[in-house]
Amino acid sequence: MAFYHIISRREAALAVADLSTGSRSWPIWTHLGLMDIRQRYRRSRLGQFWITLSMALFVGGIGLVNASLFKAAAADYIPYLAASFTVWTLVAGLANDATGVFTQAAPFLRQAAIPKTVFVLRVMTRNLVAFAHNLAIVPMVFLVFGVWPGTTALLALPGLALLLAAGFCAVHAVGVLATRFRDLPQIMQNVVQLAFFLTPVMWRPEQLGPQARALLSFNPFAVYLSLVADPLLGRAPPLGTWLAGVGLLLPLAGVAWILFARFRARIPYWL
């Protein structure tokens, strides 16, 4: 089917305007994203630092238990868990929050013509803030166990950029579908839970055989996790992982564009 049969010129122009105007409205989406974090820990003594404390307790407790179960040295396993689980919280947070990006914004969307992209960037902002709080644990763990990733850690920046680009597209696509099909949030929660066990967060890829390890390149969660977590641990991701990250992003961006441009105007009526 020709592209213009899927999206009309008017729909494409309105979608571009939404993306452009929404991206420039950074005071709105940064305020909303930060307000979401503040509301979650309202009246708490520690406030947002509960995010950091929870991560520290998890890494310390589960790290010691799993190091014993996997018969690995704690000094080797706990830094790995700290880096991988920190990145996983960002990946899983974006996936889960994508299902409520527009339904959560229903009071705004029903009353004003606000660009839908504002609420996508709201989700991105609050997950990035939580990620920054969790990331503070990683250098502390590295310092305790004497881990120094060197300049390889800088590769985490382009990896994070790819992850955020994929997340931006996924939140748009999943957000549109979840607004129309209200069973999708429950489906996504189960998908993310299953992906947690199929992604090398608690275990290392080296623990798999060569054939099973090759299948990880078809797991988008594992690909984007590796692009950020591996450099933090001083390991440069192989070229194949970078290519997989780009290769997964391109069709995801295409699907997100089609869904958003085609059904953007219907979102307020589905709420």
**254: which DSSP letter?**
H
Type and span of the H or E element at 247: helix 239-263
Q: Say how many C-beta atoms besides its own lie within 10 A of residue 31's C-beta.
A: 12
Model confidence at 147: pLDDT above 80: yes
With beta carbons less than 8 A apart as the criterion, state whether 89 and 55 touch.
yes
Model confidence at 118: pLDDT above 90: yes
With beta carbons less than 8 A apart as the criterion, state whether 206 and 134 touch.
no
Whole-angstrom distance, CA of residue 181 vs CA of residue 188: 12
pTM: 0.90
Whole-angstrom distance, CA of residue 200 vs CA of residue 214: 13
Residue with tokens 């122009």: 13
Cα pseudo-dihedral 195, 52, 158, 229, rounded to 10: -50
**7: which DSSP letter?**
S
Whole-angstrom distance, CA of residue 71 vs CA of residue 149: 23
Model confidence at 119: pLDDT above 90: yes
Report the candidate in 45, 232, 48, 206 with the shortest Cα–Cα distance to residue 140: 232
Return the pLDDT at 6.
78
Q: Say how many C-beta atoms besides its own lie within 10 A of residue 191's C-beta.
A: 14
Return the pLDDT at 210.
74
**pLDDT (tens digit per residue) in 57-108:** 878 788 778 777 777 788 888 899 999 999 999 999 999 999 999 999 998 9
Whole-angstrom distance, CA of residue 231 vs CA of residue 66: 22
Query: What is the Rg, in whole angstroms, of the alpha carbon atoms belonging to the chain?
Result: 20
Percent of the chain scoring above 90 in pLDDT: 59
Report the candidate in 182, 20, 35, 33 with the shortest Cα–Cα distance to residue 117: 20
Q: What is the mean pLDDT of residues 217-233?
A: 93
Return the pLDDT at 43.
62
Q: What is the mean pLDDT of residues 233-252?
A: 93
Instruction: Give the chain's mean pLDDT.
Output: 88
Burial of 89 (0-12, 13-18, 19+ CB in 10 A): buried
The larger pLDDT score, comparing residue 98 to residue 43, is at: 98
Q: Which amino acid is at 24?
A: R
